[in-house]
Amino acid sequence: MSALVHLTIDGCPIEIEAGATLLDAARAAGIYIPVLCSDDDLHPYGACRLCLVEVEGQRRAMLPSCTTPVTEGMVIRTTSATLEQVRRSIVELLLSDHPTDCLSCPRNNRCDLQRVAAYMGLREQRFHGEKHPAVLDNSNPFYIRDLERCILCGKCVRTCDEIQNRRAIHYAYRGLKTKIAAELDRDVRDSLCEFCGQCVTKCPVGALYTRSEFEHGSPTGVTKTICPYCGVGCGLILETRGSLIIGAVGDRDNPVNQGRTCVKGRFGYDFVNHPDRLTTPLIKRGGQFVPGTWDEAMDLVADKLVGIKKQCGGDSIAVLSSAKCTNEENYLLQKFTRAVLETNNIDHCARL
Alpha-carbon distance of 60 to 49, in angstroms, equals: 14
Q: Which residues of 294-303 are buried (b: 16+ CB within 10 A; e: fewer)?
A: eeeeeeeeee
| 58-106 per-position pLDDT tens digit | 778 899 999 999 999 999 999 999 999 999 999 999 999 899 888 889 9
Read off the pLDDT band of 268 (50, 70, 90): very high
Residues of the chain with CATH 2.20.25.90: 219-277
Is the pLDDT higher at 327 or at 155?
Answer: 155
Q: Which of 28-32, 53-57, 229-233, 316-320 has the lowest mean pLDDT?
A: 229-233
Q: What are phi and psi of 159, to 5 degrees?
A: -65, -45
| 137-196 per-position pLDDT tens digit | 888 999 999 999 999 999 999 999 999 999 999 999 998 889 999 999 998 889 999 999
Question: In angstroms, what CA-CA distances link 107 with 69, 217, 295?
Answer: 33, 8, 46
3-state secondary structure the chain: CCCEEEEEECCEEEEEECCCEHHHHHHHCCCCCCCCCCCCCCCCCCCCCCCEEEECCCCCCEEECCCCECCCCCEEECCCHHHHHHHHHHHHHHHHCCCCCHHHCCCCCCCHHHHHHHHHCCCCCCCCCCCCCCCEECCCCCEEEEHHHCCCCCHHHHHHHHHCCCCCEEEECCHHHCEEEEHHHCCHHHCCCCCCCHHHHHCCCCCEEEHHHHHHCCCCEEEEEECCCCCCCCEEEEEEECCEEEEEEECCCCCCCCCCCCHHHHHCCHHHHCCCCCCCCEEEECCEEEECCHHHHHHHHHHHHHHHHHHHCHHHCCEEECCCCCHHHHHHHHHHHHHHCCCCCEEEHHHC
Read off the pLDDT band of 351 (50, 70, 90): low
Q: Which CATH architecture has domain 4-79?
A: Roll (3.10)
| Crossing angle (nearest 10°) for helices 112-120 and 81-96 | 140
Alpha-carbon distance of 347 to 155, in angstroms, equals: 42
Whether 90 and 188 have beta carbons less than 8 Å apart is answered as no
Out of 3.10.20.30, 2.20.25.90, 3.30.360.10, 3.40.50.2000, select the CATH number for domain 219-277: 2.20.25.90
Read off the pLDDT band of 129 (50, 70, 90): confident
Rounded percentage of the chain residues whose pLDDT exceeds 90: 75
Q: Is the pLDDT of residue 131 over 80?
A: no
At residue 1, the pLDDT reads 56
Read off the pLDDT band of 124 (50, 70, 90): confident
At residue 342, the pLDDT reads 95
Q: What are phi and psi of 282, to 5 degrees?
A: -110, 130
Q: Which of 69, 106, 103, 348 lies closest to 231 in space, CA to CA?
A: 348
Alpha-carbon distance of 288 to 276, in angstroms, equals: 17
Whether 256 and 233 have beta carbons less than 8 Å apart is answered as yes
At residue 133, the pLDDT reads 73
